[in-house]
Amino acid sequence: MSTDMPPLSTEKGNASQLPRPQRVLACLLCQQRKVKCDRKYPCFNCIKSRAQCVPATQLSRQRKRRFPERELLERLRKYEDLLRQNNIKFEPLHNEATSGKFSSKLERPYDSDEEPPKITRASPSSDANSDRVYDSKNILDVMRQEFRDPDKDSDSSDDDVNAGEFKDAWDQAAPYTDQLLFGSRNTAVDISTLHPEPVHIFRLWQLYLENVDPLLKVTHTPSLQGQVIEAATDLSNIRPTLEALMFGIYCMSILSLEVVDCHAIFGSPKADLLTRYQFGCQQALLNCKFLGCNERDCLTALLFYMMSVRSSTTPQALSSLLGVAIRTAQRMGLDNESALIKCTPLEAELRRRLWWSLVLFDTRISELADSKTSTLTPTWNCRIPLNANDSDFRQEMKEHPQDLESCTEALFVIVRSELGNFIRHARYHLDLTSPALISLVKDVHPSPVIGGSEVDGLESMIESKYLSFCDPENPLHFMTIWTARAFIAKCRLAEQLSKVPSASTPQADVQPDFTVSCALSMLECDTKLLNSPLTNRFIWMFYLYFPFTAYIQISQKLKRRPISSQAEHAWEVMSDNYEARFSFLRQEGIPMMAPFFKIFARFVLQAWEAREASSRHTGELLTAPRIVVSIRHSMAQIAQKTESFATGPPDTGAMVGVDGFPMPTAMDFDNHGLSFCFGEDSNYPAGELGAYSNISMTAPLDFDLDQLDWSAMDWSLGNTPGSGSTGLPLPR
């Protein structure tokens, strides 16, 4: 380190009292050029070369386990022993008396020049889901076996039927297949012109590392970083799949930014940049021939593209596109351990992470699209990714790294996969979605209490295996803790609701108070996540999840029993969550979706009206909760806005209420608004409940879907809620 570095206090007393000064790093350009940086912004070199000076951010240090000394000495002993056995002279560190531990070949571990033992089940976390190997047969392989000449031991034969040859033949016969999606290109598009300037590429990469990668982990950033930097130096000569991935990364980085920040950093509106990079990603995917491409980078780019267009398309359309991605992943063997085992440990791990990301995203979107097809079933056997850091993986390694029993940078992804894995094996989930698959059910996480629920087992495992190691001050850990707990509350709610087979059946096992407690827990966890400054970087993920189910559950209970022991607390919890959720909108300056807001408002206001009616009988004076005051105000604004539109030209600006909440406007709906405000759960009120459409909420929960006049809604505004999501058991 040069002497230019700011001095750090070495006095222990001072060090504990004074905050350590922030280390100033050389700017990105100087780092890249390996030249001295004066660490002023802009720095001398950037001024000189008229480049934009971008401060570098410190990478989190991922430490590797030390090579244990004892193990090192044992190895040395072993090699000395081998030298002795072969009569080779050497200067021994150990005398003969102490050597000989590994004198027999049978006793010793594998020799260094031998192939290390193949690891077939590297992870303890794989226990739950990898014991079945569903290794399907390829008809061409079977034929090859059938007609193989027994005198030839080679795999290749002139008579062989080669699947690769077939693919080449198809490629030649139908060269324009990829234009099935993303349209045809009448004029050549030079996508190198769509890239941002190099300095912005580095900024986008940093944003990706900070905001997106921790929640998805579908790229190996240590090895990808070099490729991105290299690509940034020559934009006209990038490998097609890498270029697609880079555009995917741009899309996700921009998506993760708030509107104001995006403008401040890149000097362009967020929507413009998203459109530009999504178009670039489409073109780059076309260049990869993505519909037939078997490269992971290409599929990852497609995932990023789909995630970034989520808020500007319908779940039905996105679900269809996801079908393409899932089928591609299956063709590549991402869902199958017997195919994954043939890859290097790093490649196999990235493929597992990509598969889980695709499945969880697909499941969410399928629910919104009212699709009865669920990918979250026990019919595939890709195991949960390893709990390991990126730095534990190297491209050339042959052995899987250790599955750590501590918090790694993949924590969020691992916990999310564990939760998804629970769902796909949960009896109540399969009973509702795919009853034919119940025979495949096994107790993934048996309850710690005899006769306890499936969710008890899940909670116990998640808390002890992951959350007990978490540091609540760490943003990723905080995110994981409260996301997992919110999800578990959702599972409990779903499990209770699944006990109600139909409207005509009495609610024998369902405990309304317990379901409301679950719903309140969901809201409390959600509020914690939204209100914490630790999760600012991950807000883009919250947009996916609006706890609509919880609001419905609580509102219906309050409407039925306006005065109860839970009532006061419930109004407080809802008010807190409403403020936390809707303050996003104020920050983003994005108008809400009035039709969705009206539905949401109706549920809440009906519950409060029931409370007011009961107080009229008793003469009690009531103070309306914050959520009711704000909703009523917003509804008045909507009515006023609609009226003024009927008599004059529309005002396209978002309205802001006197209470500080942004007001829904009837006309200027923005597709993003739905996501920011209600997330995909806003599609709930469609009369059906997505994957759980056979749950009857009517009788036991007094939930009357007929109260909603769906035909009166204008569903043509981007997000078509002809579908339902209960917001029930989906991993966040």
Would you give the binding string for DNA spanning residues 366-405, x where CB under 7 A is met? -------------------------x--------------
Q: Which stretch binds DNA (CB under 7 A): 3-11, 440-448, 667-675, 721-729?
A: 3-11
Task: Give the 3-state secondary structure of residue 341.
Answer: coil
Confirm or reject binding of residue 4 to DNA (CB under 7 A): yes
Confirm or reject binding of residue 1 to DNA (CB under 7 A): yes
Confirm or reject binding of residue 20 to DNA (CB under 7 A): yes
3-state secondary structure 63-93: CCCCCCHHHHHHHHHHHHHHHHHCCCCCCCC
Question: Strand 662-663 to strand 655-656: parallel, antiparallel, or no bridges (unpaired)?
Answer: antiparallel
Write out the DSSP string of 604-631: HHHHHHHHHHHHHHHT------HHHHHH
Confirm or reject binding of residue 16 to DNA (CB under 7 A): no
In whole angstroms, the minimum distance from the beta carbon of 36 to DNA comes to: 4
List the Cα angle 680/681/684 in 5-degree steps.
120
Residue 30 vs 655, nearer CB to DNA: 30
Q: Which residues pair with 662 in a beta bridge?
A: 656
Q: Which of 11, 19, 22, 58 binds DNA (CB under 7 A)?
A: 58
Confirm or reject binding of residue 93 to DNA (CB under 7 A): no
Q: Which stretch binds DNA (CB under 7 A): 19-27, 318-326, 376-384, 546-554?
A: 19-27
Q: Which stretch binds DNA (CB under 7 A): 68-76, 474-482, 554-562, 619-627?
A: 68-76
CA 582 to each of CA 181, 230, 589, 601, 660: distance values in angstroms, whole numbers, following the listed order: 36, 42, 11, 13, 10
List the Cα angle 577/579/582 in 5-degree steps.
105
Confirm or reject binding of residue 110 to DNA (CB under 7 A): no
In whole angstroms, the minimum distance from the beta carbon of 91 to DNA comes to: 21
Residues 614 and 609: their CA atoms lie apart, in Å, by 9
In whole angstroms, the minimum distance from the beta carbon of 8 to DNA comes to: 4
Confirm or reject binding of residue 61 to DNA (CB under 7 A): yes
Q: Which stretch binds DNA (CB under 7 A): 33-41, 201-209, 558-566, 641-649?
A: 33-41
Compute the chain's Rg from CA coordinates.
29
Q: Which of residues 299-318 bind DNA (CB under 7 A)?
A: none
Would you give the binding string for DNA spanning residues 172-211, x where CB under 7 A is met? ----------------------------------------
Confirm or reject binding of residue 238 to DNA (CB under 7 A): no
In whole angstroms, the minimum distance from the beta carbon of 237 to DNA comes to: 13
Reported residue count of the chain is 732
Q: Which stretch binds DNA (CB under 7 A): 1-9, 311-319, 651-659, 681-689?
A: 1-9
In whole angstroms, the minimum distance from the beta carbon of 406 to DNA comes to: 7
Q: Which of residues 615-654 bind DNA (CB under 7 A)?
A: none
Residue 478 vs 684, nearer CB to DNA: 478
Q: Which of 22, 34, 88, 158 binds DNA (CB under 7 A)?
A: 34
# residues contacting DNA (CB under 7 A): 35
Residue 63 vs 617, nearer CB to DNA: 63
Confirm or reject binding of residue 30 to DNA (CB under 7 A): yes
Confirm or reject binding of residue 222 to DNA (CB under 7 A): yes
Confirm or reject binding of residue 56 to DNA (CB under 7 A): yes
Task: Give the 3-state secondary structure of residue 106.
Answer: coil
Other CB atoms within a 10 A radius of the CB of residue 142 amount to 10
Confirm or reject binding of residue 63 to DNA (CB under 7 A): yes
In whole angstroms, the minimum distance from the beta carbon of 20 to DNA comes to: 7
Q: Which DSSP symbol is given to 239?
A: -
Other CB atoms within a 10 A radius of the CB of residue 711 amount to 6
Residues 423 and 326: their CA atoms lie apart, in Å, by 19
Q: What does the buried/exposed string (b/e) look like for 652-676 if buried means 16 or more CB atoms within 10 Å of the residue's CB? A: eebbebeeebbbbbbebbbbbbbbb
CB 386 within 8 A of CB 125: yes
CB 259 within 8 A of CB 269: yes
Residue 37 vs 384, nearer CB to DNA: 37
659: nearest Cα among 586, 577, 574:
586
Q: Which stretch binds DNA (CB under 7 A): 28-36, 313-321, 497-505, 722-730?
A: 28-36
Q: Which DSSP symbol is given to 192?
A: G
Q: Which stretch binds DNA (CB under 7 A): 27-35, 497-505, 591-599, 611-619?
A: 27-35
Q: Which stretch binds DNA (CB under 7 A): 17-25, 529-537, 612-620, 623-631?
A: 17-25
334: nearest Cα among 371, 303, 310:
303
Confirm or reject binding of residue 68 to DNA (CB under 7 A): yes
Residues 191 and 355: their CA atoms lie apart, in Å, by 28
Q: Which of 11, 13, 17, 69 binds DNA (CB under 7 A)?
A: 69
Confirm or reject binding of residue 410 to DNA (CB under 7 A): no
Show the tokens assigned to 193.
């012109």
Residues 524 and 459: their CA atoms lie apart, in Å, by 17
Residue 60 vs 511, nearer CB to DNA: 60
In whole angstroms, the minimum distance from the beta carbon of 287 to DNA comes to: 25
Residue found by looking up tokens 């790694």 in the block: 408
Confirm or reject binding of residue 5 to DNA (CB under 7 A): yes
Sequence-distant (6+) residues with CB within 8 A of 155 are: none
Residues 496 and 509: their CA atoms lie apart, in Å, by 8
Confirm or reject binding of residue 31 to DNA (CB under 7 A): yes
Other CB atoms within a 10 A radius of the CB of residue 101 amount to 13
In whole angstroms, the minimum distance from the beta carbon of 2 to DNA comes to: 3
Give the footprint of DNA on this chain (CB under 7 A).
Answer: 1-2, 4-5, 8, 20, 23, 25-26, 30-37, 48-49, 56, 58-59, 61-70, 222, 233, 391
